Amino acid sequence: MSRPEVGELTVPDRTLMGPGPSDVHPRVLRAMSTPLVGHLDPSFVEIMDEVQELLRYAFRTDNEWTIPVSGTGSASMEAAVGNLVEPGDTALVPTNGYFGDRMASMAERAGGDVVRVDAPWGEPLDPADVAAAFDEHQPDVFGFVHAETSTGVRQPDVPELTSIAHEHDAYVIADCVTSLGGVELRVDEWGIDAAYSGPQKCLSCPPGASPLTLNDRAMEKVLSREEPARSWYLDLSLLEGYWGEERAYHHTAPVTNVYALREALRLVAEEGIEERWARHRRIAGVLKDALDAMGLALNPDEAHWLPSLNAMEVPAGVDDGAVCEYLLDRYDLEIATGLGALEGDIFRIGCMGHSARPENVTLLVPALAEALEAQGADVDPAAGLAVMRERLGER
């Protein structure tokens, strides 16, 4: 085999406004250049403590068992589902999005019997339907998606959902991948037993160390399982030894990713979590109203709008993939097409973390109008630009 000749790494400098990853804050990138230490080095143990405390702040929880899982958001998802769902457990999951389906797949692989509570794609779960599903199936675990990345829908009524589950002595798992750090989330106040997320969305951090939190009740279930979780790597009863007081070796943690997550969470704390939620609502609101004035309708109902992920309808006759390619080629700007049942029907436009800035909106609105006009779409760019400038205080 001949020796490969590969040049230096070069990648485009994109503006990321798709469903994730989002733009990474320069401070987070700088943190990743910090010298490497061992994953049991005393200095890294201190960093682990700091990351856990910062994660508690972002999740709005006092849960002792709050950690970054080594892996992408799907790893923290599988850690939550695979540890709380035991063989023979009944797991109730939603049908209203792509990631509810993924939750079902993980629960089945964990040995659970999966039942579903129905809602159309683009709509949240109705508490009455959840209550009826509990009465019919008596599930042991209930999972829901707080911010559905495939549909741009935010699940309201979370305390009502968790109350229904707890009345039936079930455990609640919340998918917060597209809400942590960008959309109001109160783990303790809302009665969530376990919540997981990813760092590359509203935290604007590269993937690799993914937030997870479990309350005492959930952790007691994990530690009292009759048989161990099917994944050794994601077995929380083993990870407890590394992230708990003992700090015993389990695996080599992604040290550089933990540095990055620490800095991203420092930015959350400096801004203030409620102020950060408000910024996402404000900047995404400008984007939403400008696109609405231009002629693009929001796909979910306004009451269920997810500021961090805006699902806009694709105009008739428009090739959504061609629009995304146009934006990449002309503007180094990333948005995404629909996923699953909404493929071809929506654009998914992220407004998350460091990407939720006025300059990103002022880039996107005219660029998207240009891309749509290139295909003959019936849009009104002038109206969209006028709303954008008015809302941002520009002349």
Q: Alpha-carbon distance 12 to 17, whole Å?
A: 15
Q: Same structural domain for residues 187 and 284?
A: no
Out of 61-65, 89-93, 298-302, 350-354, pick the least confident: 298-302
pLDDT at 3: 93
Instruction: Show Cβ contacts of residue 253 under 8 Å, excluding neighbours closer than 6 positions.
Output: 39, 44, 70, 209, 242
Q: Same structural domain for residues 350 and 366?
A: yes
Residue 183 lies in a domain: yes
Q: Same structural domain for residues 265 and 281?
A: no
Residue 95 lies in a domain: yes
Q: Same structural domain for residues 198 and 321?
A: no
Q: Give the model's confidence band at 31: pLDDT under 50 very low, under 70 low, under 90 confident, else very high.
A: very high
Residue 21 lies in a domain: no
DSSP state of 245: S
Q: Same structural domain for residues 114 and 212?
A: yes
- For 64-85, the DSSP string reads SEEEEEEE-HHHHHHHHHHHH-
Q: Give the model's confidence band at 394: pLDDT under 50 very low, under 70 low, under 90 confident, else very high.
A: low
Q: Is the pLDDT of residue 325 over 70?
A: yes
Q: Same structural domain for residues 35 and 113?
A: yes
User: Which among 235, 270, 305 is the end of a domain?
Assistant: 270
Residue 19 lies in a domain: no
Residue 2 lies in a domain: no
Mean pLDDT of 387-391: 95
pLDDT at 395: 43
Q: Same structural domain for residues 160 and 298?
A: no
pLDDT digits (tens, 9 = 90+) for 193-239: 999 999 999 999 999 999 999 999 999 999 999 999 999 999 999 99
Share of the chain above pLDDT 70, in %: 99
Q: Same structural domain for residues 266 and 277?
A: no
Closest CA to 205 of 242, 180, 233: 180
Return the axis-axis angle of helices 381-392 and 273-294, rounded to nearest 10°: 150
C-alpha triplet 142, 145, 149: angle, nearest 5°: 160
Closest CA to 97 of 72, 115, 117, 78: 117
Mean pLDDT of 5-31: 96
Share of the chain above pLDDT 90, in %: 96
Q: Same structural domain for residues 97 and 70?
A: yes
Q: Is the pLDDT of residue 285 over 70?
A: yes
Q: Which helix (H) or strand (E) holds 391?
A: helix 381-392
DSSP state of 342: G
For 354, the domain range is 273-392
Q: Same structural domain for residues 238 and 94?
A: yes
Q: Is the pLDDT of residue 343 over 60?
A: yes
User: Which among 247, 270, 293 is the end of a domain?
Assistant: 270
Residue 108 lies in a domain: yes
Burial environment of residue 21 by CB neighbours within 10 A (0 to 12, 13 to 18, 19 or more): buried
Q: Alpha-carbon distance 184 to 276, whole Å?
A: 9
Q: Same structural domain for residues 78 and 192?
A: yes
User: Which among 270, 301, 328 is the end of a domain?
Assistant: 270
Number of domains into which the chain is organized:
2
CATH number of the domain bearing residue 163: 3.40.640.10
Sign of CA dihedral 133, 139, 144, 150: negative
pLDDT digits (tens, 9 = 90+) for 110-147: 999 999 999 999 999 999 999 999 999 999 999 999 99
Residue 295 lies in a domain: yes
pLDDT digits (tens, 9 = 90+) for 349-378: 999 999 999 999 999 999 999 999 999 999
- For 11-23, the DSSP string reads ----EE-SSSPPP
Q: Alpha-carbon distance 312 to 309, whole Å?
A: 10
Q: For the chain, first and last CA: distance in Å?
A: 62
Closest CA to 137 of 107, 176, 96: 107
Q: Same structural domain for residues 178 and 314?
A: no
CATH number of the domain bearing residue 342: 3.90.1150.10
Q: Is the pTM of this model over 0.75?
A: yes
Main-chain dihedrals φ then ψ at residue 294, nearest 5 degrees:
-75, -20
Residue 18 lies in a domain: no
